[in-house]
């Protein structure tokens, strides 16, 4: 989800209930945010050839249409068959209208550039870091993006492909914004419904045992406060596969997005360790991150969380300036 995300007014306050306690982190350890772009060549030739040979060509994981001087539609892969992995593979899932590798000077499409550079500077290599672009990477189309069959299955198949390609017993997943709820369903598996794409479909069996650590950054797991005023009038705010938070009926929430209710029906399935990283000054989610008194970015059954309460840790700063915490979570299963 991006600043231009919905064309909606961001609301200043949540409705009903008492906020759950969150301990804010006022400052984080020094984080080297990338000032120069990563390679824009996308996936390595070795990974591209493997994808083609193993039936993944139709998913267009390379996304070469997004290559520019500063951006790329994908990242990751071995240099050759002799490239061995030391660290567990990390898969990065971006948010609405973002892309795999963005321009660090951009205010809207920074992608995972900062995080990838941070991981590379702290012992990881290209063959251990993976990202693809699941959407159009166009903020003008942001309000039309939802948890569609195409989006869910692209994320799902990318996770499956990376695990099979690397031969790793488990992978780590770091997701941001809409990428959080897409990745949670990709891991949960089971059935889903997209009336615009043939109705009910099967995502696959749960991938819980294949995921070591899941990190959800600024996800809208209970819906978006910014959808309060508009109601389910756009695909992104939809009541079936969008972020509609429902309404307060005096006793609880009714009418929340069916897709989100499916994710909320159980907990602990995202992986062996589950972390949330979010901000109470998130300018996209709005409402202090509260939806009917609860933090929407908190993951049910989470192992731990890091919460910010001041600039520059808004919706995008929580992703681009928290490489330290991301590495701590996936490598050390820690939040400090």
- Say if residue 2's pLDDT is above 90: no
Find the DSSP H helices in 96-193. Answer: 113-121, 149-166, 178-188
Interval 186-211 mean pLDDT: 97
pLDDT grade for 21, boundaries at 50, 70 and 90: low
Nearest to 121 by CA among 327, 278, 334: 327
Superfamily the domain 24-332 falls into? Alpha/Beta hydrolase fold, catalytic domain (3.40.50.1820)
- Say if residue 132's pLDDT is above 60: yes
The pLDDT of residue 40:
87
pLDDT grade for 303, boundaries at 50, 70 and 90: very high
The pLDDT of residue 31:
54
* Spatial separation of the C-alpha atoms in residues 129 and 111, rounded to whole Å: 14
Q: pLDDT per residue over 269-292, tens digit each? A: 999 999 999 999 999 998 999 999
Find tokens 């089971």 and name the residue.
190
Interval 29-53 mean pLDDT: 79
SS3 261: helix
* Spatial separation of the C-alpha atoms in residues 304 and 210, rounded to whole Å: 20
The answer to whether residues 279 and 318 touch, using CB atoms and an 8 Å cutoff, is yes
- Say if residue 3's pLDDT is above 90: no
Q: Which of 19-33, 105-119, 138-152, 312-326 has the lowest mean pLDDT?
A: 19-33
| DSSP 8-state assignment for residue 299 | P
The answer to whether residues 204 and 156 touch, using CB atoms and an 8 Å cutoff, is yes
- Say if residue 295's pLDDT is above 70: yes
The pLDDT of residue 4:
36
The pLDDT of residue 39:
81
The pLDDT of residue 25:
60
| DSSP 8-state assignment for residue 63 | -
The pLDDT of residue 85:
97
The answer to whether residues 327 and 32 touch, using CB atoms and an 8 Å cutoff, is no
pLDDT grade for 18, boundaries at 50, 70 and 90: very low
Q: Which of 21-35, 45-59, 211-225, 280-294 has the lowest mean pLDDT?
A: 21-35
Half-sphere exposure of 225 (CA within 13 A, CB side): 26
| Count of other CB atoms within 10 angstroms of residue 309 | 15
For the four alpha carbons of 206, 129, 274 and 115, in that order, the dihedral sign comes to negative
Strand partners, 111: 101
Label each residue of 12-29 as H, E or C: CCCCCCCCCCCCEECCCC
Q: Which of 204-213, 220-229, 241-250 has the lowest mean pLDDT?
A: 220-229
- Say if residue 328's pLDDT is above 50: yes
The pTM (predicted TM-score) of the whole model is 0.92
The pLDDT of residue 27:
52
The answer to whether residues 216 and 179 touch, using CB atoms and an 8 Å cutoff, is no
pLDDT grade for 34, boundaries at 50, 70 and 90: very low
Phi, psi angle pair for 255, to nearest 5°:
75, 15
* Spatial separation of the C-alpha atoms in residues 230 and 211, rounded to whole Å: 36
* Spatial separation of the C-alpha atoms in residues 249 and 240, rounded to whole Å: 19
| Distance of alpha carbon 224 from the chain centroid | 15
Domain parsing of the chain, residue ranges: 24-332
Report the chain's mean pLDDT, rounded to a whole number.
90
């Amino acid at each position: 989800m991006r600043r231009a995300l919905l064309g909606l007014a961001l609301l200043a306050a949540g409705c009903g209930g008492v906020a759950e306690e969150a301990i804010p982190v006022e400052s984080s350890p020094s984080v080297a945010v990338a000032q120069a772009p990563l390679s824009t060549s996308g996936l390595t030739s070795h990974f591209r050839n493997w994808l083609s040979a193993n039936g993944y060509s139709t998913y267009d994981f390379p996304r070469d249409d997004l290559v520019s001087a500063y951006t790329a539609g994908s990242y990751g892969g071995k240099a050759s068959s002799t490239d061995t992995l030391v660290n567990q593979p990390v898969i990065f899932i971006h948010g609405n209208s973002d892309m795999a590798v963005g321009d660090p000077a951009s205010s809207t499409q920074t992608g995972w550039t900062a995080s990838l550079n941070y991981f590379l500077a702290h012992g990881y290599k290209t063959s251990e870091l993976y990202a693809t672009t699941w959407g159009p990477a166009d903020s003008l189309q942001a309000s039309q993006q939802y948890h569609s069959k195409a989006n869910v299955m692209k994320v799902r198949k990318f996770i499956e492909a990376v695990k099979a390609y690397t031969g790793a017993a488990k992978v780590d997943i770091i997701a941001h914004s809409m990428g959080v709820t897409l990745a949670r369903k990709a891991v949960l598996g089971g059935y889903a419904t997209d009336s615009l794409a043939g109705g009910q479909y099967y995502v696959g069996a749960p991938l819980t045992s294949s995921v070591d650590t899941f990190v959800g950054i600024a996800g809208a797991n209970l819906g978006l406060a910014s959808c309060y005023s508009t109601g389910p009038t756009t695909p992104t705010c939809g009541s079936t596969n969008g972020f509609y938070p429902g309404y307060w009926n005096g006793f609880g929430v009714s009418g929340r997005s069916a897709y989100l209710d499916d994710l909320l029906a159980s907990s602990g399935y995202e992986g062996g360790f589950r972390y949330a990283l979010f901000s109470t000054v998130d300018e996209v989610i709005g409402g202090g991150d509260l939806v009917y008194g609860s933090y929407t970015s908190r993951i049910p059954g989470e192992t731990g969380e890091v919460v910010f309460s001041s600039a520059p840790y808004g919706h995008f700063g929580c992703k681009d300036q928290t490489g330290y915490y991301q590495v701590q979570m996936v490598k050390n299963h820690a939040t400090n």
